[in-house]
Amino acid sequence: MAVPLNENMWDPDTLERKPSRDGFGKGLVALGEKNPDVYVLCCDLTDSTRASWFKEKFPERFIQVGVAEQNMAGIAAGMALEGKIPFIASYAVFSPGRNWDQLRVSVCYSNANVKIAGCHAGISVGPDGATHQALEDIAIARVLPRMTVLVPSDWLEAQKATIACGEMNGPAYFRFGRENVNTITVEDTPFRVGKAETFYDGSDVTIVANGLMVYESLMAAKQLEKENISARVINLHTVKPIDREALEKAARETGGIVVAEEHQVQAGTGSAVAEVVSETYPVPMRYVGMPDRFGESGQPKELLQKFGMTASQIALKATDVLKLKK
């Protein structure tokens, strides 16, 4: 059964549009109010990551590290080993992009309770170009033992993810986008780390998505309906630990899967899903994401269009999968 969502979600013009980083900012403030051990560290990107919202409220618990992501990860590890709950905020290309070795040894191997917030993730960063478009972060985060990996779909889910991260023990990476996205979840939409949620019921094919591709997948499901194809949409906001049960069930019940993500196709969410499906109940699969190349400058919409991360591409791949079904 599909979970409660914004009842106006099929009418995009009525939806509130906000970047998911806003949810991070709000979530941090909520956590800060609840727990005096929560600290936020930032690398000279305080406003754009929304760490500034925490800083305004709790200046004594905000730590400016300067442009030094490796040092930020290490300082956070030292604080976590002393019992604090540090959140480190930067752009995903820099953290986990630039401090991966520190995340591997100082954080994950040492089991330091550090939370890594990767903002401006995905191609939808837009005009800044390829250097700033994190399309590899899910891959390099999920490969680390002990690392939880979360990819929320809108600002409200990002807020829930931030709070969930602060309340769980252990290293966690969560990524956000810069661009305004449609708010499709509501307060009552359940969010539990490790639990995939069905956002739309369907029986012919399953679309697994996260981040802003969840909305595109819902639109794809609507398009497919016109062709009498019933597509299930699963929000896989937790890439790790992955919900094996939901994925196996989807494979069994629908017989084909498309995975859509704002990330390189290789080694990201799609690969994570394939690892489960190939082991539990192999079915035809197709992937929507960046096809093993770097991005470029452009408006978010133009880039998503150019690289095929859209509802119509997802629908097309779903029909491909249907042709392969036995």
Partner 1 sequence: MGAKALTRDIKQLKLVANAVRQSIIRSLAEAKSGHSAGSLGFADVFTALYFGIAKHDPRNPDWADRDRIVLSHGHVVPVRYAAMAEAGYFPKEELMTLRKLNTRLHGHPHNEALPGLESSAGPLGQGVSIAVGMALTAKLDQKNHFVYLLTSDGESNEGQVWEAYMFAAKNKLDHLIAILDRNYIQIDGNTENVMPLEPLAEKFRAFNMHVLEMDGNDMKQVMDALEKARKLKGKPTMIIANTIPGKGVSFMEKNYLWHGKAPNPEEAEKALAELNAEKTRLENEG
Query: 282-317 b/e with 16+ CB inside 10 Å = b?
Result: ebbbbbbbbeeeebeebebeebbeebbbbbebbbbb
Minimum distance, C-beta of residue 35 to partner 1, in the bound complex (Å): 15
Region of 65 please: left (phi>0), alpha (psi -120 to 50) or beta: alpha
The catalytically annotated residue of 7, 60, 69, 82 is: 69
By CB under 8 A, name the one of 3, 8, 16, 109 that touches partner 1: 109
Q: Please identify, using beta-carbon distances, which residue of 109 and 281 lies nearer to partner 1.
A: 109
- Binding segment toward partner 1, per CB under 8 A, in 103-111, 149-157, 224-232, 255-263: 103-111
Q: Are 58 and 31 in contact (CB under 8 A)?
A: no
- Binding segment toward partner 1, per CB under 8 A, in 101-109, 229-237, 268-276, 304-312: 101-109
Query: For the CA atoms of 189, 2, 246, 197, what is the dihedral angle to 10 degrees?
Result: -20
By CB under 8 A, name the one of 111, 266, 280, 319 that touches partner 1: 111
Q: Does 102 bind partner 1 (CB under 8 A)?
A: yes
DSSP 2: P
Residues 64-83 that bind partner 1 (CB under 8 A): 65-66, 68, 70-71, 73-83
Q: Please identify, using beta-carbon distances, which residue of 108 and 231 lies nearer to partner 1.
A: 108
Task: Examine the residue annotation and report whether 60 is marked as an active-site residue of this protein.
Answer: no
By CB under 8 A, name the one of 106, 159, 210, 264 that touches partner 1: 106
Total residues in contact with partner 1, by rule CB under 8 A? 26
DSSP string, 178-194: SSEEE----TTS---TT
Q: Is the dihedral of CA 172, 191, 291, 206 positive or negative?
A: positive
By CB under 8 A, name the one of 3, 63, 130, 168 that touches partner 1: 63
256's tokens: 């084909």
Q: Please identify, using beta-carbon distances, which residue of 101 and 245 lies nearer to partner 1.
A: 101
By CB under 8 A, name the one of 105, 130, 168, 267 that touches partner 1: 105
| Dist CA 174 CA 237 (whole Å) | 10
Minimum distance, C-beta of residue 146 to partner 1, in the bound complex (Å): 11
| Dist CA 114 CA 86 (whole Å) | 5
- Binding segment toward partner 1, per CB under 8 A, in 106-114, 255-263, 277-285, 316-324: 106-114
* H or E, element range at 316: helix 311-324
Minimum distance, C-beta of residue 25 to partner 1, in the bound complex (Å): 22
- Binding segment toward partner 1, per CB under 8 A, in 1-9, 100-108, 209-217, 304-312: 100-108
Q: Are 264 and 135 in contact (CB under 8 A)?
A: yes
Phi, then psi, of 18 in degrees rounded to 5: -145, 155
Distances (CA, A) of 26 to 32, 55, 150, 186: 10, 12, 17, 15
Q: Please identify, using beta-carbon distances, which residue of 90 and 189 lies nearer to partner 1.
A: 90
Q: Does 84 bind partner 1 (CB under 8 A)?
A: yes
In one-letter notation, the amino acid at residue 167 is E
By CB under 8 A, name the one of 8, 110, 180, 230 that touches partner 1: 110
Binding site for partner 1 (CB under 8 A): 60, 63, 65-66, 68, 70-71, 73-84, 101-102, 105-106, 109-111
So which residues are the catalytic ones?
69
